[in-house]
Amino acid sequence: MELKRLTTLAVLLLACSMPAIADIEGSADHPLLGRFGSATISAYQASDYDAATLPGRPIADARAVDNQLELEGRVTRIGYRLPVEHTALEVARNYEATLAEGNFDILFQCAGPSQCGRGFSRYVINEGAVFPSAFDRAAFNDNSRALLAMRDDGQGTAHVFLYIMEDRSNDRTLVRQLVVESEPLQLGQVSVKDAGALQAALDADGSVIVDGIFFATDSAAIETESADALEQMAELLRNAPELSVYIVGHTDNQGSLDYNLELSQRRANAVVEALGTLDGIDAARLDARGVASLAPIASNANEAGRAQNRRVELVLQ
């Protein structure tokens, strides 16, 4: 699904000269929303499918935030830099006008801590929920404005979040832009190892990652899409009746270690329980263990790595 691209939005917000400083390599304006005047791109991150958190109300305490907008879809984060003579108010008013022209509805906007809340800037800049904590470093201050807008035109839903801050100590104004284009997740992209492939990996390495085991978010409930992978694990056990294995649950590093140890153990237990209901499987041959984030196979600094670390493994006893 492709959202309609509005020519008026893809054009510069102001008729200004092209930036003198080059954008970072691999970056580009989002097709739904152009840049302000002579801004240059200093940070860029785009994912075909990811989760994003958008603040839609004031935040008093960055460590106690709830009821924010949780979205999934095509996610693009862009950091722009401007000369500081362009104030946050000037930039925000231009974005407001351009979004209105593009049939976006403004859901929330605020200015500084008196309207946004004392914890708003910290949550957006430092906590990593909205933008990665090192996305585009800036001196923290109260000269800021935020805006959340949405458009649903029948061809798809798009949300835009903007955080604009005057970083006068560094003679610049910063714009952080986050666009989420909601669209269905393309499932069926993970191939499930059959029983023979699982056995070959166990013989070679003593362990094997079982692709295709899915859990509900923050839960040990196994999703129905996991049925094929569970059946291949069962077939492995039927073909090798002498085989005993550990079922090991892994998580990423989001949240406390104690909580993730408990979650990973519950998920391992759930797999053992599910296998025990299948024909010819003696659950006594299975030992469930949860190790949380203690054995990552990728970086937990980004969602792509965290997704790899959330997994189930078979390990020979």
46 and 71 fall within a common domain: yes
Range from 74-83, 84-93, 143-152, 297-306 carrying the lowest mean pLDDT: 297-306
128 and 256 fall within a common domain: no
Encoded tokens for 173: 């104004």
172 and 223 fall within a common domain: no
Supply the pLDDT for residue 187: 54
176 and 202 fall within a common domain: no
Average pLDDT over residues 151-165: 88
Biggest distance spanned by C-alpha atoms of the chain: 74
**In this model, does residue 1 exceed pLDDT 70?**
no
**In this model, does residue 15 exceed pLDDT 50?**
no
137 pLDDT tier (thresholds 50, 70, 90): confident
Q: Is residue 211 part of a domain?
A: yes
Q: Is residue 2 part of a domain?
A: no
Supply the pLDDT for residue 6: 40
Among residues 182, 204, 227, the one where a domain terminates is: 182
Tens of pLDDT, residue by residue over 289-312, are 999 999 999 888 777 788 889 999
143 and 276 fall within a common domain: no
Domain count, the chain: 2
Q: Cα angle at 311 between 191 and 124, to 5 degrees?
A: 110
**In this model, does residue 157 exceed pLDDT 60?**
yes
Q: Count other C-beta atoms under 10 Å from residue 181's C-beta.
A: 20
**In this model, does residue 20 exceed pLDDT 90?**
no
Supply the pLDDT for residue 88: 93
Task: Write down the mean pLDDT value for the chain.
Answer: 86
Range from 10-19, 142-151, 267-276, 290-299 carrying the lowest mean pLDDT: 10-19
212 and 99 fall within a common domain: no
Average pLDDT over residues 237-247: 94
Average pLDDT over residues 144-173: 90
Q: Is residue 70 part of a domain?
A: yes
Q: Is residue 42 part of a domain?
A: yes
In the β-sheet with 286-290, what is the strand arrangement from edge to edge?
207-209, 311-316, 245-250, 286-290
Q: Is residue 71 part of a domain?
A: yes
175 and 283 fall within a common domain: no
- Pairing mode, strands 207-209 and 311-316: antiparallel
User: What's the domain range around 221?
Assistant: 195-316
Q: Is residue 1 part of a domain?
A: no
In the β-sheet with 172-182, what is the strand arrangement from edge to edge?
40-54, 69-83, 172-182, 157-167, 144-152, 105-111
Supply the pLDDT for residue 188: 58
Query: What is the percentage of the chain residues whose pLDDT exceeds 90?
Result: 57
236 and 166 fall within a common domain: no
Supply the pLDDT for residue 298: 87
**Residue type (1 letter), 79:** G
Supply the pLDDT for residue 10: 42
Contact between 125 and 131 under an 8 Å Cβ cutoff? The reply is yes
Q: Which of 290, 291, 309 is nearest to 299 (CA)?
A: 309
Phi, psi of 246 (to 5 degrees): -85, 135
At which residue do the structure tokens 């699982």 appear? 198
**In this model, does residue 139 exceed pLDDT 80?**
no
90 and 167 fall within a common domain: yes
CATH number for the domain harbouring residue 235: 3.30.1330.60
Phi, psi of 195 (to 5 degrees): -60, -40
21 and 166 fall within a common domain: yes
Contact between 238 and 199 under an 8 Å Cβ cutoff? The reply is no
Tens of pLDDT, residue by residue over 103-127, are 999 999 999 999 999 999 888 887 7
69 and 149 fall within a common domain: yes
Supply the pLDDT for residue 73: 87
Among residues 182, 204, 238, the one where a domain terminates is: 182
